[in-house]
Amino acid sequence: MAHHGCLINMTKEITAITPQKRNAQRLNISLDGEYAFSLDRMTAAWLNVGRKLSPQEIEKLREKDEQEVAYNRAMHYLSYRARSEDEMLTYLSGKGFSEIVSQTVIDRLKDEHLISDARFAEDWIENRVSFRPRSQTQLRFELRQKGLQEDIIENALQDANLDDIKLALAAGTKLARRYAGLTWLNFRQKLSAALARRGFSYETARTVTQQLWDETQKQNKARDHSWSTDNNV
């Protein structure tokens, strides 16, 4: 009976629940007349003044609150752009959350379809192809840096059905216009170097550079011919 009484005496009574002045989404919890800790509103939803809490309940509340805080941080991080699981784990760890809490949050985000490495890979490739084309080798490297597994990367690349020549042409077309007034030697050096920086092989860069040079020369001749004809009229 003495042991049972000891457990009862270890419980603490909630004597106040008040919102924080700087963050109304967090509540200050007072136990036995003294401030004890703060909780997210979601975590504290079932609490009320007068309720008694055991040490185990207090510990569970703290753990649940840490997870809720981590989840809110994760949602803020996702508000800028999609993230890979590895990016999210690194971010949460950097904010001081334990690996267990971080992984719990990531699992919750996956269950809610808010994070998916497979979808991340597809979106990353689609965005790159549309706005900043680069080689499949470079795309593979970038996705590895994001912590994605090899099978996910390969599946995404296969589904995208990419062709390095087409990617290099897309990447080089805008640059070719910029270099249109250069000599063949300078045109080749600049465009080949630019394509190499985007991960294209020497052979692909050479083939595309020659093709874009030929197209540039045709356009220049057509423009010169048009100018000449207009001036002779």
Q: Is residue 2 part of a domain?
A: no
| CATH number of the domain within which 132 lies | 1.10.10
Mean pLDDT of 9-37: 90
In a domain, 226, yes or no: no
What Cα–Cα distance (Å) separates residue 232 from each residue in 221, 226, 229? 16, 10, 5
Residue 231 lies in a domain: no
Strand partners, 229: none
Sheet with strand 12-19: strands edge to edge = 34-40, 26-31, 12-19, 52-53
How far is Cα 199 from Cα 134, in angstroms, rounded to an integer? 6
Q: What distance in Å separates the CA atoms of residue 117 and residue 109, rounded to the nearest whole number?
A: 12
Q: At 224, is the pLDDT very low, low, confident or very high (cuts 50, 70, 90)?
A: low
Q: Is 100 within the bounds of a domain? A: yes
- Please say if the pLDDT value at position 114 is more than 80: yes
Is residue 230 included in any domain, yes or no?
no
Give the amino acid at 89. Answer: L
pLDDT for the residue 46: 87
Q: What is the domain count for the chain?
A: 3
Q: Does the reported pTM lie above 0.85?
A: no
pLDDT one-digit tens code per residue, 64-80: 889 999 999 999 999 99
Distance in angstroms (rounded) separating the CA atoms of residues 48 and 148: 45
| Chain segment 123-162, per-residue pLDDT in tens | 999 999 999 999 999 999 999 999 999 999 999 999 999 9
CATH number of the domain to which 43 belongs: 1.10.10.10
Residues 157, 136: one domain?
yes
Q: Is-contact 141 199, C-beta < 8 A?
A: yes
212 domain-assigned: yes
Full domain range(s) for residue 120: 116-162
Contact at 8 Å (CB) between 14 and 47? yes
Does 136 lie in the same domain as 193?
A: no
Asked whether the predicted pLDDT for residue 98 surpasses 80, the reply is yes
Residues 92 and 139 in one domain: no
User: Does one domain contain both 83 and 121?
Assistant: no
